[in-house]
Amino acid sequence: MADVAEEQRGPQTRRSLSTAIARLAARPGFQRWAAAFPFTRRKVRREGEALMDLVAGFVQSQALAALVELRVIEALMEGPQGAAPLARVNDIPEHRMQALLQAGAAMGLLRRRRDGRYSVTTRGAALTGVPGLLPMIRHHGALYRDMADPVALLRGDSETELAQVWPYVFDGGAGVDPATARAYSDLMTQSQALVAEDTLRLVSLKGVRRLLDVGGGSGAFLRAAAAKAPGLDMMLFDLPQVIDEARHRMSAAGLEARTAFHPGSFRVGPLPEGADAISLIRVLYDHEDATVRDLLAKCFAALPPGGRMIVSEPMSGGARPDRSTDIYFAFYCMAMRTGRTRSATEIACLLREAGFDAPEKPAVLRPYVTSVLVATKPAADYAKNRNG
């Protein structure tokens, strides 16, 4: 009994010590002492800078938005410039353009030269070169406004702009006008390249003869998959309003003959059969658990025994919170008023509920781009025994 009591005291002691340290660190007097003490002042400075980054983060995002809106980085890609010419072109007072350029340099996007002009850093160049990144930043105006009252957003009390941008998630696309569908499809297509790249580096399509991409948009993922697996036949399932654009883009890539197009909503009726692998690329986190369960059940029904299920999207860090997915994507989903970021463990449980074998989890290359789970529909005899 003494050993059991000791084991129970262990976690309690650690929690008490952690609480005591936190309370000590919160005292102004301790902060002043730690900032002056030689062995702690470097850590205090790092922590202070990190806190300031958190406090000022909203200003950084808006300064970034201004750099993008004014196309400052694109202009500097042509060669170094000072504040004066950029101020004239954009009808902004020179001293304020100077402040924006200084902010860009502080964020590591620009470099201030000895002659006072500014040039682009490799990070700044990457900002213009990463597919879909600039359109995503321009799109953030709606998210920024939706987060003006974060407590109301958390309580679910406020109407949000993003819910109007992506209305397809509420009614399965019924009544979504073609212009809205095109805008959604264009944004997703522009940002899909990195997702497709990482997914296909983590997932082998060896042995897959026909791939069904559910919620496939204009076919960006399927085009990347076709390049990776030249003998692959493809099926694209998405809203009727999206299919025409998908057909046009697949045709332009010379892939229309290899692609079967299936207009519909996965909320209504079954998925088309005939594929031996199904991909859900950035689909699940748009929807609530009940919708996800229903969709995964339909995927299970549409696949043959041994069929492969591929889920690729940003996932919560779960027990190890992730800066990009547990902040950015989590609040983005809140502003959409539906869906949420789930951890790989949560999605694995949902796949198991649907009947799939325990999924494999390949190593994640860039969690802020995507994470991937691959699960298999068990052989008929095994599934019968397991459910019997």
Q: Average pLDDT of each block of 10 consecutive residues along the chain (388 residues)?
A: 51 63 62 63 75 88 96 96 97 98 97 97 91 84 92 91 69 54 61 88 94 94 95 95 91 96 93 97 94 97 97 94 93 90 96 95 87 92 51
Q: Can you tell me whether residue 237 is helix, strand or coil?
A: strand
- Kind and range of the H or E run holding 68: helix 57-69
Per-residue model confidence (pLDDT) at position 180: 56
DSSP state of 257: G
Per-residue model confidence (pLDDT) at position 122: 96
Residue 47 corresponds to which tokens in the numbers above?
């922590």
- Kind and range of the H or E run holding 228: helix 220-228
Other beta carbons within 10 Å of 276: 18
Per-residue model confidence (pLDDT) at position 276: 96
Q: Can you tell me whether residue 214 is helix, strand or coil?
A: strand
Alpha carbon distances (Å) from 72 to 77, 107, 162:
9, 14, 27
Per-residue model confidence (pLDDT) at position 183: 59
Which of 168, 174, 166 lies closest to 142 in space, CA to CA?
166
Strand order in the sheet with 233-238: 259-263, 233-238, 210-214, 277-281, 308-313, 371-376
Question: What is the set of domains in the chain, with CATH numbers?
Answer: 57-129 (1.10.10.10), 150-387 (3.40.50.150)
Answer yes or no: pTM beyond 0.75.
yes
Per-residue model confidence (pLDDT) at position 338: 85
Which of 271, 292, 283, 307 lies closest to 351 in space, CA to CA?
292
Question: What distance in Å separates the CA atoms of residue 303 and residue 273, rounded to the nearest whole number?
Answer: 7
